[in-house]
Amino acid sequence: MVKQLAENLYTFPIRLPNSPLKWLNCYVVKGGPGERDLLVDSGFDKPVCRADLFAGMEELGLRPENTDVFFTHVHVDHTGNGMALARRGCRILMGRTDYAVLCDSPWSRQIWHMEMDGMPRSEVERLIQINKRSGIDVMYFPAETLDAGEELAYGGYRFRCLLLPGHTAGHMCLYDRERSVLLLGDMVLFDITPNITNSGMDGLDNLGMYLDSLDRLSAYPARLALPGHRNWGRVSLEERIEELKRHHALRLSEAEQIVERHPGISAYGTASRMKWQIKAGRWEEFPLSQKQFATGEANAHLIHLVRLGRLRRQEDEQGFITYWK
C-alpha cells in the first residue's frame, strides 16, 4: 500500500467511493529522531477513506501526537477527516484563506446560488438534502493557519508554502527547491483536469486566477511534481501546464460559441451544451453532483470571458444571471 518516493518521502492511496477522482494521493514526510512527521491531505469523511488513512499511518508508524497534518485546500476529499485526525491528537495546518472559507461558508449557501445560475429549484433542493445527509455542510475542525511564504521543515525537507489560487481561493502547494520536490494538491493533475468552478453570484474570476497561478508555477521547477489525485510522470510539469492552458483556451472558445448561438443563456444551459468526459449519454442522465460541477465550471469560463470583454453578463430583478455575446 505504501510506496517510498524519495528519502523520508512516502505516498499511499485513499479510495474515494462514488467519485470520478477514484483516489487521493496521501503524502507523508517522516521526520528524523526527535522531529515531527508530516501528513498531507486525508480523503472524505467516510469509513472506507478513514480505513485507508489509518492503515497507511499505521504502516508508516505515525503517532498522532507526533504528526502534523497539512491540508492543501478546502475541498472535502482533502479535508474530510480533519476532525477525526484532530480528535486523535494530530496538529492540523491549513492556509489562512481556505480555512476562513471552511469556517464561514456552508456548502448549502453556495448551492442556493446555483438557482440564479439556471439550475432548476428541484435539483438545488435535492443537492442540499444530499449534502446534509453526507454531513459535508458542517466540516469544521481546529487548525493553525499558514500564510504564503511560510516554511515547514520535516525529515530534511524545507517546504515553502505557495499560495496558488484558482481551484480554490486559498489553494496551497508545498515546494522544496533544494530537493526539487513539489506537492501539488489539485493545482495540477496529470490524468484529469482540475475542476475550476464559479458561482455567478460572487463574480470572482477563478479561471483567471488559476491561469495566473499556472504561469507562476512555472517558476518552481520540480524533479518530483506530485499531484493530489491519480498518476503522474506521463509528461513533465512544464508540459502539463501547457496542456492545461490549451485545454482552457478550447473551453473558452466552446462556451463563447454556445452563448453566441443561444443569446441570454444561463451557466446551467451552457453546461448542458458543452462536451464532458463522463459516462452519460445526455445531460438529463448526468448525476446531480456532476451537473453541479459542470455548471460551476461553465460559469468559471463564462465569467472569465466577461472579464476579457468577449461576453456580457446580465442580472435581472430576481437575480437570475444570463450571458450575451
Q: pLDDT tens digits for 164-184?
A: 999 999 999 999 999 999 999
**pLDDT for 134:** 61
Strand partners, 159: 152
For range 234-251, the mean pLDDT: 97
Domain boundaries, the chain: 3-324
Binning pLDDT at 50, 70 and 90, where does residue 65 land? very high
**pLDDT for 204:** 87
Q: How far apart are CA 97 and CA 90, in angstroms?
A: 21
For range 10-38, the mean pLDDT: 95
How high does pLDDT run on average in the chain? 93
Q: Are 22 and 193 in contact (CB under 8 A)?
A: no
27-41, 52-66, 94-108, 122-136: the lowest-pLDDT one: 122-136
CATH: 3.60.15.10, 3.40.50.300, 3.10.20.30, 3.40.50.620. Which one for 3-324? 3.60.15.10
pTM of the model: 0.94
Percent of the chain past pLDDT 70, that is, above it, reads: 95
**pLDDT for 112:** 78
Which of 49, 46, 3, 51 lies closest to 226, judged by CA? Answer: 3
**pLDDT for 202:** 73
Q: How far apart are CA 30 and CA 313, in angstroms?
A: 50
**pLDDT for 107:** 64
pLDDT at 201 over 80: no
Give the gyration radius of the chain's Cα atoms: 20
**pLDDT for 86:** 97
For range 6-18, the mean pLDDT: 96
**pLDDT for 129:** 85
pLDDT at 105 over 70: no
For range 134-158, the mean pLDDT: 87
Cα dihedral 277/280/285/290 (nearest 10): -30
* Contacts with 21 (C-beta within 8 Å, 6 or more apart), sequence order: 77, 192, 229, 230
pLDDT at 159 over 90: yes
Q: How far apart are CA 131 and CA 191, in angstroms?
A: 27
For range 209-226, the mean pLDDT: 97
pLDDT at 133 over 90: no
**pLDDT for 102:** 87
* Contacts with 47 (C-beta within 8 Å, 6 or more apart), sequence order: none
Q: How far apart are CA 22 and CA 15, in angstroms?
A: 6
Q: Which three cell numbers stand for residue 91?
A: 496538529
Please give the residue that has the higher pLDDT: either 280 or 212. Answer: 212
pLDDT at 318 over 60: yes
**pLDDT for 274:** 97
For range 58-86, the mean pLDDT: 96
